[in-house]
Each structure stands twice: as structure tokens, then as C-alpha cells.
């Protein structure tokens, strides 16, 4: 049975032992974020948290609701997310009926599909309480400030609903909303998103754009708002497919839009296309603060909500966080669509540290020369896959795309740089800070598939000289170069051992000059790849190392080669090096909040 509402889902995960209720009073200013960040980084994503007493509001706060495999599967009512993919394939692969018997066989599927489109209702729980005009007051909501350098409080899980200027297409998306005062917020939609596209349509016609925002709908609707659907496909239709039951919608009170009838809270209002305001910075899902910028202003004309509403929210930051599981759901659910367009695709993995748009590993059933490179080029031109910075292609059956250690070993043992590395250039996510210019930069394709007839043979690397003592190598580089604060040898058993370096960069060009020096120095021949990080990076934490690599890399600029050895410069870049963006700061919680949560931990989570 489909979940009727968010609170039914809360009852479900509570019964599963996947919910922790916290009755102690907590602050929405940083404290909830610090508590949640710690819990979300526990094994298997920790528990969902229901804060029942939040300073400044009568509403409880639900967070980390979808932050585990168990809860994500429960939200979509499946034992495995791959079950949804198989169900989707069933509809995608319907063959045209050739006879009356074929048509009769289709009838059950057609009857099932008739339940997917949303349906209108006349009354709704989300409108049990209605505030309009001067009664509108966003300060009644327990809206979080997530991180110390955030510009203020942000609504982080808003299901934003609008229509195209001709009203033919509905868009439902997740766009963060900075609260300015009691009845206005920012509307932060990135330049490539459908919401921004619709906004520019209204701006060209100098017309107000109506917008509605639902907070805390049923879990399938909450997920669907995050899904990267093709332009023009209604997200409520996807939610109906996932629920196997139509999403009930109700007309808003002050705008001509429809919202999920069972939502906890709804904001109604409009955007004046001639009004822009500075929004941000904000600690984003990359683990860095996104830059501030001018965005449209959302004027709230009504707030409606259930009696005793629950405020659903989330935080994003250095992974893992709750959004990882939402992203992995998208990876599994949309794999059939990828296979439908490129039948050679067998499986795909978006690694945790790649924060969705920095790395994708794809396996294929290879049949002809240059097929892997063709697929890379195709993906870089396809929807949100076009933002991906690194694509790795492997043979299906040779290695699992989900065994990232095995993929890394394959790369270090087999890749032929002259044959297998493919540099390109294209658009990048607006949150990518590594490229010299915003919104576009270089990309890297890595072909790890076996050569087939018609392709040049692969020349595998030659193993470096035998290393007797890894610690001696690490010690020698730190003793010889005082700017190297730490060194760690990784993958010593492969043909390309990797030396990680924590480097104190004090001037432009210093990191590149250092890498050129060590690449030409025979004293360090035992290492084949030198990865240079900022001085504070913990080289003993593989996940943090990969997260830094994916985030800070501009492939063409940062990869330096000498013969068969490589240096990779992952340091902060400067304007004198041709860098024109503002390099962002990592998200870190303030010391006083960390100490405060340390002191309260046993009170909040008694044994």
C-alpha cells in the first residue's frame, strides 16, 4: 500500500527501529545540523531523527529521513531499488500489439498505468490551517541554519512547483530557499534547471511567475522532486508510478497551481521577474560553500498546513549525507532509461565521493572499436550526465562497477595513457569550483575495456623498481621538501604505486613546479603517480582523499606527465595561475557548536 503521507512513513520507520525521537530542546541554528552530520556519518547512514522540541517553533523537525538503504527502500516500498528498475523496464519494453491476444495481454499493464497520473481532490489535509496576507510568517517554521558561514536560514527540502508560461508543462524540483524575512525567500535554481528555464520565459514576457512549495509530502513524492526527469515529464507522474497510486493534488488558495494534498506545509506565492536579490553563500552537497549570487525573490502570499505539522528538512555537506541515498536511488531507478538509449550499457555506479556529478563508472557489453569513447561522448551530451567530470568505462563481467577498489587496481595495472585517456571539454555543474572558469571546463574519459579487433593494442605499464620500505620513501620526500607536511604510499602492490602528498602551498605555481621536480627525480622512481593535496588533508582517510580528488581536479590542467609517470595537482588555485573563480571554503562546523554537542551527546542519545 502506498504511504498516504509523511507521517505514515514516520510510523513505518519507527516500527523498523530506524527512527530516533529526541525530546530534548535543540536549536535550529547549527545545533541540529551538527547532530545530524554526526549521525549521518555513522555506519549505514545512522537513524532518522525526529526533534520534538525545537527552539522558536511549535513544529517538530524530521531529518535524515531517507539517509540509509533501509529507509530509502522503505520510502519507495521495495526490498531493493533494482526492483523499481525492473518494473520500469516492463513498461519501457512494451512491444506494439500485433493481435487481439497481444492487446488483451497488455490490458493489466494499461490498467496499472492508469493509476499513475495525479488526480485532483477538493479538500486536503495540507489546508487544515490557512494564513494569508499579514498572517503569513515564515518565522513560525523551524527553518535551519546549517553551517556557520551560511548567509542565514535555508529551506533545504522544498518541493517547488511551477508551470511554463503557457501552463502546458508543470515542473517540480528541489531548489533551496534562503529566508529573507517573514514573507520572502530566495529561489535558488541553477542556470541549467527547468525552473530557471521557466523563469526566463516569464521574464521575457515581463509577467509574474506563480510558485507553490510543498514541505513534507509522501516519501515517493519527496523523492520524485529530486529526480532528473526529461524536460516536460511530470514528476507527480513518476511519484504515481513509484507509489502505484495517483498522487492526490489540491488547488492552492491564492495561486493557480496544484500541490500534494497530503503535504505537511505549503507555501504559495509569486516571483517578480524584475526583482533579484543576493543569495548565499550556502554549505552545499559538494562539501564546500557555494558562492553567493543574485537570484529571484519568492513572495509568500499564503502558508497552509496540517494541524500539528511536521517540518521535513535535510542538510548537505561533506559526504556521506542523506542526499547520497537519494542520489543512489536515482542511479538505480534511471538505469533502464540509460540502457534504452545506449543498449550496450550494463551497469553504472556514481561513487559516494564524486557527489553525483564528478565521477561515473559504467560497464558495457563491448562489440566494436571505440565503443567506450562513443559512449563517453554520448553521455557528456545527455541531460544531467553532461555535468559529469570523469567517466570510467569497464567491460561487463571483468569487474563490478560497484567494486571501486577493483576498478582502481584495474586502472593502475592496465591503463595505457596514450590509448585509454580521453580529454574533452564541456559544461560542468554550477557548483564545480575546480575549473578556471565557471560552468565549463575539461573532462576525462578513461577506457578500461579490452581491445577488440580494429583497435590499437594496449601497452600495459611496466612495474616500477621494487620498493623495500614504503616508510623510507615517505620519510625521504618529507625530509627533502619541507613544504611536504605528510606523505603516504598507496597501492604499492600495483604497477603504478601512488604517493599521496599533503603540501603547504604558499605561492602560485609552487605545486606544479614541485611535481615536475619529483617526476624527474630518480630517487622517487618507486612511485608512478604523485597526488598533491592541500596541507590539512588527512591522507589516512581514503574517502576524504577521493572526495578531494574529484572536487579539486580539472583534468587537463592538473595532470602533469613525464614519460610513464604522472603528477596530479589538487591544490587550491590562484588568479596568477589563470584561475578566475573564487575558490570556496570547505564546510566546517564551529568549535563552540562541536563542544556544545559533545557535552550534550549522552543527554540527546541516552543508552
Domain with residue 533: its CATH number is 3.40.1670.10
Q: Give the residue among 501, 86, 585, 557 at the shortest CA–CA distance from 333.
A: 86
pLDDT in tens, 354-387: 998 999 999 999 999 999 999 999 999 988 899 9
Question: What is residue 112's predicted lDDT score, i.e. its pLDDT?
Answer: 62
- Please tell me the number of Cα atoms within 13 Å of 185 on its side-chain side: 29
Q: Which helix (H) or strand (E) holds 234?
A: none
Q: Which stretches does DSSP call E strand in 1-127?
A: 19-22, 48-51, 61-63, 119-120
pLDDT given for residue 493 in this prediction: 86
Q: In DSSP terms, which residues pair with 290 in a beta bridge?
A: 282
Q: Which residues in the chain come in under a pLDDT of 70? A: 1, 90-114, 465-468
In this structure, the answer to whether residues 501 and 400 fall within a common structural domain is no
**Total Cβ atoms within 10 A of residue 139:** 13
d(C-alpha 511, C-alpha 283), whole Å:
27
Give the per-residue pLDDT at 186. 97
166 CB-near residues (< 8 Å, 6+ apart)? none
Which grid coordinates are listed for 524? 622517487
Q: Is there a contact between 10 and 47 (Cβ–Cβ < 8 Å)? A: no
Q: Which residue has the cell 535551519?
A: 144
Give the pLDDT confidence score for residue 194 in this predicted structure. 82
What is the reported pLDDT for 105?
54
Residue 603 lies in a domain: no
Residue 596 maps to a domain? no
Query: Which residue range is the domain that position 367 belongs to?
Result: 342-447
- Is there a single domain that holds both residue 555 and residue 437? no
Enter the pTM of the model: 0.93
Same domain, 303 and 348: no
- Per-position DSSP letters for 411-456, written without gaps between them: HHHH--HHHHEEEEEEE--TT--SSSBTTEEEEEEEE-SPP-TTSP
62, 10 Cβ separation under 8 angstroms: yes
426: β partners: 441
Structural contact between residues 143 and 155, judged by C-beta atoms closer than 8 angstroms: yes
User: CA–CA separation, 141 vs 61, rounded Å?
Assistant: 9
In this structure, are 143 and 238 located in the same domain? yes
Q: Please give the grid coordinates belonging to residue 532.
A: 598533491
Let me know if residue 453 belongs to a domain: no
Residue 263's nearest CA partner among 156, 144, 135, 128 is: 128
All 3 cell numbers of residue 534?
592541500
The answer to whether 221 and 239 are in contact (CB under 8 A) is yes
Tell me which residues are annotated as active site: 284
User: Which pLDDT score is estimated for 92?
Assistant: 59
CA angle, 386 then 391 then 395, to 5°: 130
Q: 507 and 440 share a domain?
A: no
Report pLDDT for 195. Answer: 85
The answer as to whether 592 is a domain residue is no
Sole residue written with cell 495517483: 246
The number of CA neighbours under 13 Å toward the Cβ of 301 is 14
Identify whether 319 is part of a domain: no
> Which CA distances in Å does 51 have to 36, 63, 66, 142, 215?
10, 8, 16, 10, 16
Residues 59 and 141 reside in one and the same domain: yes
464 found inside a domain:
no
Strand-pair partners of 359: 390
Q: Considering the domain boundaries, does residue 606 fall inside one?
A: no
Residue 92 dihedral angles phi and psi, to the nearest 5° = -70, -25
pLDDT value at residue 97: 58
User: 424 and 516 share a domain?
Assistant: no
Distant-in-sequence contacts of 188-194, Cβ < 8 A, 24+ apart: 188/279, 188/280, 188/282, 188/295, 189/160, 189/295, 189/296, 190/429, 190/430, 191/430, 191/439, 192/387, 192/427, 192/430, 194/231
- How many structural domains are present in the chain? 3
Which pLDDT tens digit goes with each residue over 297-323?
999 999 999 999 999 999 999 999 999
Question: Domain containing 258 — which CATH number?
Answer: 2.30.110.10
As a whole number of angstroms, the distance between CA 265 and CA 140 comes to 12
**Alpha carbons 90 and 587: distance in angstroms, whole number:** 43
**Domain termination residue (choose one: 394, 412, 447):** 447
Res 545: pLDDT: 97
SS3 188: coil
CB 288, CB 433: distance < 8 Å: yes
Output phi, psi for 486, to 5 deg: -160, 155
Dump the DSSP string for 155-176: E-S-EEEEE-TTS--EEEEE--
Shared domain check, 408 and 552 = no
Contact (CB, 8 A) for 484 and 502: yes
Q: Residue 583: inside a domain, yes or no?
A: no
278 with 408, same domain: the answer is no
Q: Cis omega (within 30 of 0) on the bond before 190?
A: no
Q: Which three cell numbers stand for residue 419?
A: 590509448
Q: Do 153 and 211 fall within a single domain?
A: yes
- Considering the domain architecture, whether residues 93 and 227 belong to the same structural domain is answered as yes
381 backbone φψ class: left, alpha, beta (φ>0; ψ -120 to 50): alpha
Q: Which helix (H) or strand (E) holds 578?
A: none
DSSP three-state, residue 249: strand
Got the DSSP string for 274-324?
Answer: EEEEEE--EE-TTSBEEPPEEEEEEEEEEEEE-SS--EE-----SSSSHHH
Query: 280 and 346 share a domain?
Result: no
Amino acid at each position: 500500500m502506498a504511504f498516504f503521507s509523511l507521517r505514515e512513513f514516520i510510523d513505518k520507520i519507527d516500527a523498523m527501529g530506524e527512527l530516533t525521537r529526541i525530546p530534548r530542546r535543540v536549536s535550529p541554528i547549527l545545533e541540529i545540523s551538527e547532530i545530524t552530520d554526526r549521525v549521518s556519518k555513522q555506519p549505514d547512514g545512522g537513524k532518522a531523527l525526529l526533534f520534538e522540541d525545537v527552539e522558536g517553533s511549535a513544529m517538530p523537525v524530521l531529518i535524515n529521513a531517507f539517509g540509509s538503504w533501509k529507509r530509502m527502500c522503505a520510502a519507495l516500498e521495495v526490498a531493493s531499488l533494482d526492483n523499481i528498475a525492473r518494473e520500469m523496464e516492463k513498461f519501457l519494453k512494451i512491444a506494439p500489439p500485433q493481435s487481439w491476444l497481444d492487446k488483451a495481454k497488455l490490458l493489466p499493464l494499461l490498467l496499472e498505468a492508469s493509476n499513475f497520473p495525479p488526480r485532483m481532490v477538493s479538500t486536503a489535509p495540507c489546508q487544515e490551517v490557512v494564513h494569508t496576507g499579514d498572517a503569513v510568517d515564515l518565522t513560525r517554521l523551524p527553518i535551519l541554519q546549517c553551517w556557520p558561514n551560511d548567509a542565514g536560514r535555508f529551506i533545504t527540502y522544498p518541493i517547488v512547483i511551477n508551470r511554463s508560461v503557457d501552463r502546458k508543462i508543470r515542473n517540480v524540483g528541489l531548489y533551496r530557499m534562503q529566508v529573507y524575512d517573514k514573507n520572502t525567500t530566495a529561489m535558488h535554481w541553477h542556470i541549467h534547471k527547468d525552473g530557471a528555464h521557466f523563469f526566463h520565459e516569464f521574464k521575457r514576457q515581463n509577467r509574474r511567475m506563480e510558485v507553490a512549495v510543498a514541505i513534507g509530502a509522501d516519501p515517493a513524492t519527496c523523492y520524485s522532486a529530486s529526480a532528473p526527469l526529461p524536460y516536460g515529464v511530470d514528476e507527480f507522474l513518476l511519484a504515481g508510478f513509484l507509489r502505484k497510486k495517483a498522487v492526490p493534488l489540491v488547488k492552492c488558495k491564492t495561486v493557480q497551481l496544484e500541490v500534494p494534498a497530503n503535504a505537511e506545509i505549503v507555501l504559495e506565492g509569486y516571483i517578480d521577474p524584475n526583482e533579484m536579490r543576493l543569495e548565499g553563500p550556502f554549505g552545499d552537497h559538494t562539501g564546500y560553500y557555494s558562492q553567493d549570487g543574485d537570484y529571484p525573490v519568492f513572495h509568500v502570499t499564503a502558508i497552509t498546513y496540517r494541524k500539528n505539522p511536521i517540518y521535513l528538512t535535510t542538510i548537505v555537506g561533506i559526504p556521506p549525507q542523506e542526499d547520497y541515498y537519494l542520489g543512489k536511488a536515482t542511479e538505480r531507478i534511471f538505469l533502464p532509461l540509460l540502457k534504452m538509449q545506449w543498449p550496450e550499457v550494463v551497469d553504472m555506479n556514481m561513487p559516494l565521493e564524486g557527489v553525483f556529478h564528478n565521477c561515473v563508472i559504467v560497464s558495457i557489453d563491448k562489440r566494436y572499436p571505440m565503443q567506450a569513447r562513443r559512449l563517453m561522448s554520448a553521455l557528456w551530451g545527455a541531460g544531467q550526465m553532461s555535468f559529469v567530470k570523469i567517466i570510467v568505462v569497464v567491460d561487463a563481467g571483468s569487474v563490478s562497477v560497484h567494486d571501486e577498489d577493483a576498478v582502481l587496481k584495474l586502472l593502475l595495472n592496465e591503463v595505457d595513457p596514450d590509448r585509454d585517456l580521453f580529454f574533452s571539454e564541456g559544461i560542468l555543474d554550477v557548483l564545480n569550483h575546480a575549473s578556471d572558469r565557471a560552468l565549463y571546463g575539461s573532462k576525462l574519459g578513461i577506457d578500461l575495456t579490452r581491445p577488440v579487433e580494429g583497435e590499437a593494442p594496449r601497452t600495459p605499464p611496466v612495474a616500477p623498481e621494487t620498493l623495500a620500505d614504503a616508510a623510507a620513501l615517505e620519510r625521504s620526500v618529507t625530509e627533502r621538501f619541507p613544504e611536504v607536511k605528510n606523505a603516504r604510499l598507496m597501492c604499492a602492490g600495483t604497477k603504478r604505486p601512488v604517493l599521496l602528498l599533503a603540501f603547504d602551498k604558499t605561492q602560485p605555481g609552487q605545486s606544479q613546479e614541485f611535481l615536475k621536480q619529483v617526476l624527474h627525480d630518480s630517487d622517487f622512481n618507486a612511485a608512478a603517480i604523485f597526488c598533491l593535496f592541500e596541507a590539512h588533508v588527512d591522507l589516512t582517510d581514503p574517502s576524504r582523499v577521493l572526495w578531494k580528488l574529484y572536487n579539486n581536479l580539472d583534468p587537463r590542467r592538473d595532470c602533469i606527465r613525464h614519460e610513464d609517470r604522472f603528477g596530479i595537482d589538487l591544490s587550491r588555485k590562484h588568479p596568477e595561475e589563470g584561475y578566475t573563480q573564487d575558490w570556496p571554503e570547505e564546510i566546517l562546523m564551529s568549535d563552540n557548536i562541536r563542544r556544545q554537542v559533545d557535552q550534550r551527546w549522552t543527554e540527546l542519545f541516552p543508552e
